[in-house]
């Protein structure tokens, strides 16, 4: 039997030790009436070879991005992942370990997570972060809950150009709690409409959530937003792309109270959407409102530096229904991978990944501008993705896909008012040839 080491003789021996005559007697506590009598309608078991071919065959029914010239982004990005990263993360000392509750058996994991926390604080400029959340969207939901606890108010403003799926998840999280969630529209340039923001703010508002770069890839007018929020006890929550921080201003410098993000751009596979991991970072005065595990540095019995989980009185295993969150398992391995990624890339590597993405996206943008039939509705200040418009976008996207080009994400599904609009992304992996091929194909379609 796969993965069971006890031999029939050993099983017999143990049964004898237990004073039982059959294995069925192990389950004598279970009422007979509810035991499964008939044979389950399940596969009958396979050899490893058979499993291998069966699952590979299913995999082949996917067409992975190697087959395409892809410009898909919108929250998950195709960045280059150094080979060395997988060799570290695939070490079973990391992936077969449990949560590092026992520091003596887990110094490696604990130090790696402490380093991860340090990296996130360096990137964001924030004082503290945790050992990871599930993903960017649940990080956002937990950030909002934090702001409600901190301010003891009940109203949240969220920009409509925050990732639609993040807003969906947030809505689910607070659905049955007594809070009001209000969406702030974007303006004709695709940016947060600051006039509406001004209008909607009131003294019951706990927090304002913006995304920067926003879902359309645009860089928000932070000084303007900041000037509206100053002098009010309203927390600023910023959703961001961690890679953009290689060039963009640290959120700590513009007064963010809580920063959240999906960590996938830091060396994570796209993996059909998961697992990735969530980043959440804040000011030190709010550390006791942070959800999830936190690693700290301390001393051991001999006075040696040592790491352990800390500030656990916030968590569910101690505070139960009064905990800051119910989160227990997180996405540690993905967070450790991010620490490895940032170590491998270093200052220069990360900077290059960011400016190559930036340059590629702007090259694509400028080439698109020359195509008749293609319009660029929004601001031209963006990081690695932007929105463009073509009549009958669905048709165009299908034609491009036939030529092996995945143009991007059609926005009408999230924003009915943006029909014809497509969000396209370039990472550092795009070559000039990739972009030129896209442009050539698009020209042909636009001019048909």
| Residues within window 139-178 making contact with another protein, judged by CB under 8 A | 163, 165-166, 168-169, 171-173, 175-178
Distance from C-alpha of 336 to C-alpha of 348, rounded to nearest angstrom? 20
* 12 belongs to the binding site for another protein (CB under 8 A): no
Distances in Å between the alpha carbon of 367 and those of 187, 258, 443? 25, 37, 10
Kindly state the tokens that stand for 416: 């009915």
Kindly state the tokens that stand for 226: 């900041």
* 180 belongs to the binding site for another protein (CB under 8 A): no
Query: Cα 434 to chain center, whole Å?
Result: 27
Beta bridge partners of 374: 390
* 392 belongs to the binding site for another protein (CB under 8 A): no
Distance from C-alpha of 417 to C-alpha of 377, rounded to nearest angstrom? 12
* 231 belongs to the binding site for another protein (CB under 8 A): no
Contact of 277 with 335, CB cutoff 8 Å: yes
Contact of 342 with 350, CB cutoff 8 Å: yes
Kindly state the tokens that stand for 307: 């790491």
Contact of 145 with 327, CB cutoff 8 Å: no
Contact of 412 with 421, CB cutoff 8 Å: yes
Contact track, another protein, 357-376, x by CB under 8 A: -xxx-xx-------------
b/e code 290-314 from CB counts within 10 Å (16+ = b): bbbbbbeeeeeeeeeebbbbebeeb
Rank residues 31 and 448 by Cβ distance to another protein and give the closer one: 31
* 228 belongs to the binding site for another protein (CB under 8 A): no
* 124 belongs to the binding site for another protein (CB under 8 A): no
* 282 belongs to the binding site for another protein (CB under 8 A): no
Contact track, another protein, 103-122, x by CB under 8 A: xxxxxxx-xxxxx-xxx-xx
Rank residues 199 and 398 by Cβ distance to another protein and give the closer one: 398
* 429 belongs to the binding site for another protein (CB under 8 A): yes
User: Of 152-160, 202-210, 228-236, 378-386, which segment contacts another protein by CB under 8 A?
Assistant: 378-386
Rank residues 62 and 372 by Cβ distance to another protein and give the closer one: 62
Rank residues 250 and 443 by Cβ distance to another protein and give the closer one: 250
Cα Rg of the chain (Å, integer): 26
Residue from 182, 313, 404, 444 in contact with another protein (CB under 8 A): 313
User: Of 186-194, 202-210, 326-334, 439-447, which segment contacts another protein by CB under 8 A?
Assistant: 326-334
Q: Which of residues 36-95 bind another protein (CB under 8 A)?
A: 36, 39-46, 48, 50-52, 54-56, 58-66, 70, 72, 74-76, 78, 80, 82, 84, 86-88, 90-95
User: Of 147-155, 183-191, 340-348, 439-447, which segment contacts another protein by CB under 8 A?
Assistant: 340-348
Q: H/E element holding 260?
A: strand 258-262
* 4 belongs to the binding site for another protein (CB under 8 A): yes
* 211 belongs to the binding site for another protein (CB under 8 A): no
For the four alpha carbons of 99, 143, 230 and 255, in that order, the dihedral sign comes to positive
Residue from 154, 201, 228, 249 in contact with another protein (CB under 8 A): 249
């Amino acid at each position: 039997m796969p993965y069971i080491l006890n031999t029939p003789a050993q099983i017999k021996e143990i049964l004898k030790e237990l004073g039982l005559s059959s294995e069925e007697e192990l389950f004598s506590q279970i009422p007979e009436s509810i035991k499964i009598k008939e044979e389950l309608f399940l596969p009958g078991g396979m050899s490893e070879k058979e499993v291998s071919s069966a699952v590979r065959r299913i995999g082949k029914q996917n067409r992975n991005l190697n087959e395409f010239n892809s410009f898909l982004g919108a929250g998950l990005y195709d960045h280059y992942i150094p080979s060395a990263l997988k060799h570290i993360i695939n070490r079973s000392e990391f992936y077969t370990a449990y949560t590092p509750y026992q520091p003596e058996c887990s110094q490696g994991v604990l130090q790696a997570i402490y380093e991860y926390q340090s990296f996130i604080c360096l990137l964001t400029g924030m004082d503290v972060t945790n050992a990871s959340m599930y993903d960017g969207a649940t990080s956002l939901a937990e950030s909002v809950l934090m702001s409600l606890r901190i301010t003891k108010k009940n109203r949240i403003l969220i920009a409509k150009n925050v990732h639609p799926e993040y807003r969906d998840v947030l809505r689910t999280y607070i659905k049955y709690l007594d809070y009001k969630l209000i969406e702030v529209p974007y303006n004709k340039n695709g940016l947060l409409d600051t006039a509406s923001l001004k209008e909607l703010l009131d003294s019951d508002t706990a927090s304002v959530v913006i995304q920067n770069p926003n879902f359309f890839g645009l860089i928000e007018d932070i000084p303007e937003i900041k000037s509206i929020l100053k002098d009010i006890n309203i927390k600023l929550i910023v959703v961001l792309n961690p890679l953009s921080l290689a060039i963009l201003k640290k959120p700590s410098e513009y007064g963010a109270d809580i920063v959240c993000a999906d960590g996938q751009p830091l060396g994570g596979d796209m993996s059909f959407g998961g697992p990735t991991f969530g980043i959440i970072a804040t000011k030190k005065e709010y550390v006791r409102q942070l959800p999830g595990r936190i690693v700290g540095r301390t001393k051991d019995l001999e006075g040696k530096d040592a790491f352990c989980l800390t500030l656990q009185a916030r968590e569910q295993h101690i505070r139960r229904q009064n905990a800051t969150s119910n989160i227990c398992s997180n996405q540690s391995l993905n967070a450790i991978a991010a620490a490895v990624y940032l170590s491998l890339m270093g200052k220069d590597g990360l900077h290059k990944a960011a400016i190559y993405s930036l340059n590629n996206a702007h090259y694509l943008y400028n080439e698109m501008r020359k195509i008749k039939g293609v319009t660029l509705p929004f601001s031209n200040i963006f990081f690695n993705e932007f929105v463009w418009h073509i009549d009958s976008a669905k048709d165009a996207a299908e034609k491009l896909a036939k030529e092996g080009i995945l143009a991007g994400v059609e926005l009408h599904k999230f924003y009915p008012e943006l029909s014809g609009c497509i969000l396209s992304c370039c990472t550092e992996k795009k070559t000039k040839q990739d972009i030129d091929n896209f442009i050539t194909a698009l020209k042909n379609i636009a001019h048909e």
